[in-house]
Amino acid sequence: MLPRALLAKFVLKPSTVVSPFQFNQQRALHSRNKKALEFIAKGWNALKEVDRVIDYSDPKHSGIVSLLRTAKENFELALEADNTNTHARYWLSRLHMKYPVPGANKAVGAALLVEAAEMGDPEAQYALGCHLRVENDYVQSDQQAFYYLEKAVDQLHPGALYLLGAVYLTGDCVKKDIASALWCFHRASEKGHAGAAIAYGSLLLKGVEVPESVIKFSLTRGAAAHRRGRNKGALAIDPVEMAREKFQIAAKAGCELGFKWLARLEEEEKRALTEEH
């Protein structure tokens, strides 16, 4: 065995000196990232304006075509500035696959979407999972869709959480698992997803039992949960109050169902008070 003193000579020690070359590399990387983000912001703003007017205009209108070209050019420039940027890939893929941009190519869009998903972009993973579930009929599409949805769920993408919750709730291509569905709906609602909040709240009012793991998580968020009487280690929830919290999340997001459920709860409470008296 080598003596400790001799072995230590071969072990690299962390250097406290930053070489000019390393500093220049970091500065160049930061500069590329910043430039790419600027291009993405310009492209996204142009696309947002298209979304605002396209339903009420001719898609071939010169103003819309000009905006789409601006978006495409900026997303392409973002990739030229930083080829590792997953957001630029995702938005460029979306442009090719969804919008009537001149030179649009769905094959190119699909390739970009797969690349962005494989590189870890949660929006791309969610979008790819949805495309595989809806637009493909071959045998393994459901399994592949589930794979990408789980990847997005790992990054707590609200849309993916909601969709995976629906899959667990219905038992579509996976074993039916109400507890997992509730967990997905709860986490998605915490991210502001209106559909997940409605689903979670309505399941509570139907009497579905909430798993203890979700109740513990709710306690850290200040949800309507409390300790059971004698057994201080056990947890319980007030289903009506927790449902109300979820419907409030949906209402805050502008969901009409959220307002309707809140009004219904209020009516039920007034009726109960009237009957008591």
Distance CA 20, CA 272 (A): 74
User: Given pLDDT bands bounded at 50, 70 and 90, which one contains residue 10?
Assistant: very low
Q: For residue 55, what is the DSSP state?
A: G
Asked whether 184 and 162 are in contact (CB, 8 A), the reply is yes
- Which two tokens mark 182? 């509730």
Q: b/e per residue, 240-267, with b = 16+ CB within 10 A?
A: eebbbbbbbbbbeeebebbeebbeebee
Q: 29-155: which CATH architecture?
A: Alpha Horseshoe (1.25)
Say how many C-beta atoms besides its own lie within 10 A of residue 85's C-beta.
23
pLDDT for the residue numbered 228 = 45
What is the pTM assigned to this prediction?
0.75
DSSP symbols for 220-269: HTT-SEEE-SS-TT-EEE-HHHHHHHHHHHHHHTT-HHHHHHHHHHHHHH
User: Given pLDDT bands bounded at 50, 70 and 90, which one contains residue 238?
Assistant: confident
The length of the chain, given as a count of residues: 277
Q: Which residue has the higher pLDDT, 18 or 121?
A: 121
- Which two tokens mark 5? 């003193």
**What average pLDDT does the chain have?**
81
Domain residue spans in the chain?
29-155, 171-277
pLDDT for the residue numbered 119 = 93
User: Given pLDDT bands bounded at 50, 70 and 90, which one contains residue 54?
Assistant: confident
For 227, 228, 229, 237, the CA distances from 232, given in Å and listed in that order, are 6, 6, 7, 14
